Structure 1
């Protein structure tokens, strides 16, 4: 049974607000202050939804479940697991599952830095993530304490890439969205066990350089790297998003590879 937003509560005193995704089909309770799902998580879910032959999927650092539940809504038959280190975010993710009357979604509280073996899980057809974008706190102005865990990867990006490669089955897919200037690190890190790379740049405007990249890889993949045309988020007109992105955000289209 779908739960009313007002019924959501946590043991801590964290204050939450309601957010709606996919044209209102996904309802989320998120912290009023701190990390909140944005464009990156929405695009990540849309990119994963278009992959073939995926029955089980794992999200690393699932937060309150925005990308996880968006993917579940797009692919109802998919069995999904999310790992989240922060207790309040993991608790909210668990609450958001029945809020959307969904099943087949599991939230595990744990640290990616422990490595995949520590979780004693079976490997997955798909592993996806929107990991923290910085691993050196000295490279940016210190974020607010409520956002630090989402911004700073304490064990470094390499730990997330290694975890993903250990967690995915042979020929399974890995999908990451990250800063464009870390593309070389992502490709190098995933090359330990993966290949068949597909890269899709994400540009704010057609005449601006990419700030983000979507990277797809396959464990033991051998196909040549493919660089796709960029996804342009905004046009120069009155629309907030380009028609393609608007359709993706509303859940009317997946993000194709």
Structure 2
């Protein structure tokens, strides 16, 4: 996808209870709650730096910036229209964000010289040797994996400062290879399952590692996303804790 995203093809969507209003394509790849959870899990403070690999329209990085004033934001995005959209979203929401255009495995030389306190990623979920490509080019670029997951982790670890953190959100079925890749490059691994409802299997996980960390692996209690056993009412039906994360900007704490 190389053509620019025209205004008539975009929607304006509210995040964090309206603290952010972000432009997204009406058709093609649209960010949901996953990048919001990812941003909420980052334990950042003013003066620190964050890199969002494959930043798309900037949802995860900008949510992190809105929650953490004074956090320096950087993104890397290979699809030029989305890189431009991330820059526009940052400007329209009064946030500063440097967005580099380039591929994960061949990133701009300037970015290769910088390391960050936090590196986050919401990589493509679906292996294309085991799933069907999306018809929309931009959606396929965001959801269909053509760069191995291990490469995402290796690049993230390289761009992370000693003592800094790498955090990914991903599908639970990819957890074995994700854990293996993290263990090769990072320590002090922590896993937070995201459960659709109480008693259900996790579909998503958050995995965090520390550059140079030496603490034992920690498997935390899962975060239950929705109330009740079934979805039997209108609306999202989020649990109170999740509502506070999505709408009020509360942190997503791995171990309360």
| TM-score for the superposition, normalised by structure 1 | 0.89
Q: Which runs of 4+ in 1 moved over 2 A?
A: 10-14, 50-54, 115-121
- Where does residue 205 of structure 2 map in the other structure? 213
2:135 to 133, 136, 144: 144
Secondary structure, counterpart of 2:175 in structure 1: helix
CA gap 1:235/1:192 in 2 versus in 1, 3 angstroms:
same
| TM-score for the superposition, normalised by structure 2 | 0.90
Deviation at 1:113, TM superposition (A): 2.1
Deviations 1:127-174 (A, max 9, x none): 001110123x24222212231001112121111011001000111100
Measured in 1, the distance between the counterparts of 2:67 and 2:196 equals 25
Considering only aligned residues, what root-mean-square deviation do their CA atoms show, in Å? 1.9
Secondary structure, counterpart of 1:18 in structure 2: strand
Deviation at 1:251, TM superposition (A): 2.7
Deviation at 1:77, TM superposition (A): 0.6
Give the length in aligned residue pairs. Answer: 245
1:244 pairs with 2:236: no
Deviations 1:61-112 (A, max 9, x none): 1110111111100001100100011111111111111110122x11111100
Measured in 2, the distance between the counterparts of 1:54 and 1:176 equals 22
Secondary structure, counterpart of 1:221 in structure 2: coil
2:252 to 234, 252, 255: 255
> Is contact 2:126–2:145 with CA below 8 Å preserved after alignment?
yes
> Is contact 1:115–1:163 with CA below 8 Å preserved after alignment?
no
Deviation at 1:119, TM superposition (A): 3.4
> Is contact 2:47–2:72 with CA below 8 Å preserved after alignment?
no
